Chain A
Amino acid sequence: MKLYEYVIRRLALLILVLLGVTLLTFILSRVLLDPLAAYVTERTNPKMIPAIKRMHGFDRPYWEQYFFYLRDLFTLDLGWSKVGHMNMVDAIATHFPATAELTILAIVITLIVGIPLGIVSALKNNQLADHASRIFSLIGISIPVFWLGLSLQYFFTYWIKTAYGLPALPSTGRYDPVLAINTGFKKITGFIVLDSLIQGNLIMAGDALAHLILPAITLAFLNIGVITRLTRSSMLEVLRQDYITMAKSYGLPQRLVIYKYALKNALIPVVSVTGLLFGGLLGGAIMTESIFAFPGMGWLSYRAIVYNDSNTVLAYVVVASIIYVVVNLVVDIVYAWLDPRIKY
């Protein structure tokens, strides 16, 4: 099978899985939960309820409802978000770029820190650096995300100023609105860092990064441990292989052997694991964004939980799952492209 045939096959499977996802969330939101909750409060006149039911189609048989549910999904009519005070679609559109920016930065940090650490651990196998990084990784996967976020927030936005008199990082939000007005910042894509760079507004970009850095590190920390360990074991495995002996027997310099011949092989499993880690980021975003009052989908979902807005929670779950599935599909395609042995 050629690469594009593989892609098409996976896309077909993806649609199947997404149908399953929508079916599951449909069952969760209409069958097991009371869909009226989003539209009805204690103050609603009980006589109005049947009319409201008819209006939204909740009195129809379930399979009919599912059909309309899917149609609504396609036309992007996802209902109303109680905590967002606007259409679900608008709520998602407004809040998602923040979460996207955050998770992307978190993954970048994870890979930039984790992979080199893993390589060093493998090269200095069983020496001090290796043991240190192993303990670091173990701590990394044992740290509660929310505790780390709170601790970082306390230290870098408060303690560093009061105890050491150093400039502190901002503790909440995505950017300084006053600074935005003063520097004439305009939103283009919704990605603050990108938009500032496009407009040549370096002050704003710096400010956005200052707001991003703590939550991003919080999210990245757990995964750094995973990536380091994986890179280390993968590298050790590869360095044992016969083709490395072969490369050495031809006098290829050490650096070439490690960073070209070994690394390309060793990074293959790392690629696929990165896709899986993304799911954890989408989950952890809820806690991290709420701690730092970072106005993304995670923060919105947190409020939705507090106020019992199941609609919004489920909307986040569906969107997050779709993105997770798509990301993993991309990862699988990259994997197949990287490793020519893969028979699809």
Chain B
Amino acid sequence: MEKSGSKMRELRIRELKYALHLFSSNKLVLAGTAIVLFYVFLAIFGRFMVDVNEPYMLDFKNALKPPSSEHFFGTDDLGRDIFRLIILGAAYDMAVSIFVVAVSVAIGTVLGSISAYLGGKFDEAFMRIVDILFAFPGLLLAMAIQMILGKSLFNLALALILVWWAGYARLMRGQVLAEKEKLYVRAAKSLGLPGYRTLFKHILPNAFYPLLVSATMDIGGVMLSAAGLSFIGLGPTPFEPEWGSLVNRGAPFLFVAPWLMFFPGLMILLASLGFNLVGDGLRDILDPRLRR
């Protein structure tokens, strides 16, 4: 048993080294990672680079001014500098997206694996519930939940979590069921049922890769959904410079001052693109077939 353990570790290290090599030679992935790191930087340090009170600095004399050397992205209808608002907004979008995905993954994988492990009637009932959740188009269900919970950014995140966890539950359940099959075959030869500890020792390595790819690309997807919900007015207040709500506020002024909606939306696009590039690249790197 000891020998196989260290040999496995050796193999894993070699795999990781090879993966890293592929990673650094893939231009798209590198570009994506650069973008993601840039956004993380903005999210964390934005409040130090720009005055946090910017959303409250109303200046009607300067309203709806086009981009200039003074206001890089122009000003909005309240006279606020859009460039600065965007920098502050990074924290909101990044925080919401990562939070939603992290919690969804946590809840989904735990519930999914429990359900698969327990099997039987419990698993059946659980899958019916998941099926019903899947019957709703995602965005609409989040919308409905938010109508109940109330319109705030936190409730937006909550609503998205309630929609998104089901996908991971299904994914994890599939992985656990597949492993359960294999282990029962082995158990048939030896004695006793496989303990849940061995179950997880074998599942986690296999499930990790597709989960990682899914989660990374989902951060981009959640960001789009969150911005979309904000756009319809379900999220932040006018003083929270989340990018989706910035676009929402800019929509009425489209023909007069298109920069209001353009730049925040562009930021959403680039952030989502960054995560998708990384996730897509990861998928190519981690695909065992493509490696050969």
Indicate if A touches B (C-beta under 8 A): yes
**Could you pull out 11 A-B pairs where Cβ atoms are within 8 angstroms?**
A16-B128, A142-B269, A142-B273, A143-B272, A145-B228, A146-B248, A147-B262, A154-B258, A313-B147, A320-B136, A321-B137
Interface pair B137/A20, CB less than 8 Å apart: no
Decide yes or no whether A175 CB sits under 8 A from chain B. Answer: no
Cβ-neighbour of B276 out of A142, A301, A317 (below 8 A): A142
Complex contacts, A20 vs chain B, CB 8 Å? 128-129, 131-132, 135
Whether a CB of chain B sits under 8 angstroms from the CB of A201 is no
| Measured CA separation A24–B144 after assembly (Å) | 11
Please tell me if the beta carbons of A146 and B228 are within 8 angstroms of each other in the complex.
yes
Contact among A141, A146, A310 for B231, CB-based, below 8 A? A146
Query: Which residues of B sit under 8 angstroms from A314, Cβ to Cβ?
Result: 144, 147
Q: Which residues of B contact A139 (CB under 8 A)?
A: 269, 273
Q: How large is the interface on A (under 10, 10 to 19, 20 to 34, 35 or more residues)?
A: 35 or more
* A287 near B228: Cβ-Cβ < 8 Å: yes
B265 & A302 in contact (Cβ 8 Å cutoff): no
Query: In the bound complex, what is the Cα–Cα distance between A153 and B251 (angstroms)?
Result: 11
- Total residues of chain B contacting the partner, CB 8 A: 46
| Alpha-carbon distance A13/B10, docked complex (angstroms) | 49
A144 touches B265 (CB 8 A): yes
Does B143 touch A at the CB level, under 8 Å?
yes
Using a CB–CB distance below 8 Å, which chain B residues touch chain A? 28, 128-129, 131-132, 135-141, 143-145, 147-148, 220-221, 224, 227-228, 231-234, 244, 247-248, 250-251, 254-255, 258, 261-262, 265-266, 268-270, 272-273, 276-277, 280
Residues of B within 8 A of A313 (CB): 143-144, 147
A305 near B234 with CB under 8 A, answer yes
Task: Return chain A residues, CB-CB under 8 Å to B131.
Answer: 17, 20
Given contacts A151-B262, A283-B140, contact A21 B135 (CB under 8 A): yes
Complex: A16 Cα to B145 Cα, angstroms? 22
List A residues at the B interface (Cβ < 8 Å): 16-18, 20-21, 24-25, 28, 32-33, 135, 138-139, 141-147, 150-151, 153-154, 158, 278-280, 282-284, 286-287, 290-291, 301-302, 305-306, 308, 310, 313-314, 316-317, 320-321, 324-325
Report yes or no: B266 in contact with A147, Cβ–Cβ below 8 A: yes
Return the chain B residue nearest A145 by Cβ.
Answer: B228
Q: Tell me which residues across on chain A come within 8 A of B277, comparing CB atoms.
A: 138
